[in-house]
Amino acid sequence: MNPLLLYINWDPNPEFFNIFGISVRYYGLLWAVGIFFAYLIVRYQYRDKGISEKKFDPLFFYCFFGILIGSRLGHCLFYEPAYYLANPLEIFLPIKFLPGGGWKFTGYAGLASHGGTLGLIIALWLYVRKVKMNYMDVLDMIAVATPITACFIRLANLMNSEIIGKVTNVPWAFIFERVDLNPRHPAQLYEAIAYFIFFLIHMFLYKHYSKKLHRGFFFGLCLTLIFTFRFFIEFIKIDQVDFEATMTLNMGQWLSMPFVIIGVGCMLAGKYFDKLNPPIKR
């Protein structure tokens, strides 16, 4: 028997459909679906808390651009700083300049979740200054929805055959045919499943215990769960950039640790946040 048949051969067409030369790819589509679900969940929370629609309306704008800009800058500056500092226009434009002159469209090939998280935190700080809301209240509401978006982003990575795992012989291994013929851990799928479970935990706690939990709890729990899992899943992923081969812990693990510390701190400091921050303004 061919040993390759024991594993899952994975080589989907990354393009969902093409109409009149316009390509719609699974990557962008799954990103959009994840953000759409987060939009619905956060909107539900605003209505549940009796917060006016006018305060909710600009939130999507801040979140979308905060995540996109932060993710892009995070990848460029954390993972490939030498290249992008030498080619700064490629940070902001979805193109790659060719050695012999000219350019080609590549899309934004490189987005880092750590940078996206930091970008979102900064964007929400700007948002609350505009709408005069409590910062921790907004962070908590976004945190409830964040894991479902993270789930769809990792499914997008799976469709692109990127962020793959190390070689393994487990029976559910994937052979990413666009990479090589080695059976590998489907690390993207592991993360997607974990983030979906985290989302269910958040929703259960919100529905049954939100009035009993202190400010900052959901934000802290989200950071702690996601980045603790991210720290450990990195052990079965291949290195994203060459310089990680010389590191005891890779870049993703080093970047995850501060977020875990912040997350635990927010959960422990709930009573302090309750006293420091004024009641939510409706």
For residue range 23-62, list pLDDT tens digits in order. 778 888 898 899 999 999 999 999 999 999 899 999 989 9
The residues with which 175 forms a beta bridge, in sequence order, are 9, 183
Spatial contact of 120 and 142, defined as CB atoms under 8 Å apart: yes
Taking only the tens place, the pLDDT of each residue in 239-252 is 877 777 788 888 88
3-state secondary structure of 250: coil
User: Residue 150 contacts by C-beta under 8 Å, 6 or more apart in sequence?
Assistant: 34, 113, 191, 195, 226
Top pLDDT among 277 and 203 is at 203
Pairing of strands 103-105, 95-97: antiparallel
Which residue's entry shows tokens 């964007």? 123
Gap between the Cα atoms of 116 and 28, Å rounded: 16
Residue 105's φ and ψ, nearest 5 degrees, are -75, 130
pLDDT for 277 equals: 60
The pLDDT of 132-160, averaged and rounded, is 94
Gap between the Cα atoms of 27 and 4, Å rounded: 27
Taking only the tens place, the pLDDT of each residue in 51-105 is 998 999 999 899 988 988 888 888 888 778 888 888 888 787 777 778 777 777 7
User: Residue 196 contacts by C-beta under 8 Å, 6 or more apart in sequence?
Assistant: 147, 148, 151
Gap between the Cα atoms of 136 and 114, Å rounded: 19
